Amino acid sequence: GENVEQHPSTLSVQEGDSAVIKCTYSDSASNYFPWYKQELGKRPQLIIDIRSNVGEKKDQRIAVTLNKTAKHFSLHITETQPEDSAVYFCAASIMNRDDKIIFGKGTRLHILP
């Protein structure tokens, strides 16, 4: 089955700097890659997603890139702010096949003042 690896497990960046989180997946048939943000004590919430027919997607300070050949995708957060501190999860799934969304183990992002 699908396996999603995520790194780093912990990331600290100065406020205003950029943060990058990277994930790899194992099943080349995977075609949908969402990212979820989980603030302390709260539920995970979708922040951005990308489908395999595009290589990059942006939403304000957040962007995701996808390299299908290498089977990896990344989350980029620019001009980081204190409210970006959270755990971020990448995920992968195969639309129109088994509908399972498999998550990476998460990255705890600390924004330093």
Chain residues binding another protein by CB under 8 A are 1, 32, 34, 36, 42-46, 49, 89, 93-95, 98-106
Q: Which two tokens stand for residue 24?
A: 């790899």
3-state helix, strand, coil in the chain (%, to 5): 5, 55, 40
Between 13 and 102, name the residue whose CB sits nearer to another protein: 102
- Smallest distance from the beta carbon of 26 to another protein, in angstroms? 15
Which DSSP string do the residues of 58-89 spell out, in sequence order?
Answer: EETTEEEEEETTTTEEEEEE-S--GGG-EEEE
- Smallest distance from the beta carbon of 5 to another protein, in angstroms? 11
- Smallest distance from the beta carbon of 91 to another protein, in angstroms? 8
d(CA 96, CA 30): 10
Between 36 and 84, name the residue whose CB sits nearer to another protein: 36
Between 42 and 58, name the residue whose CB sits nearer to another protein: 42
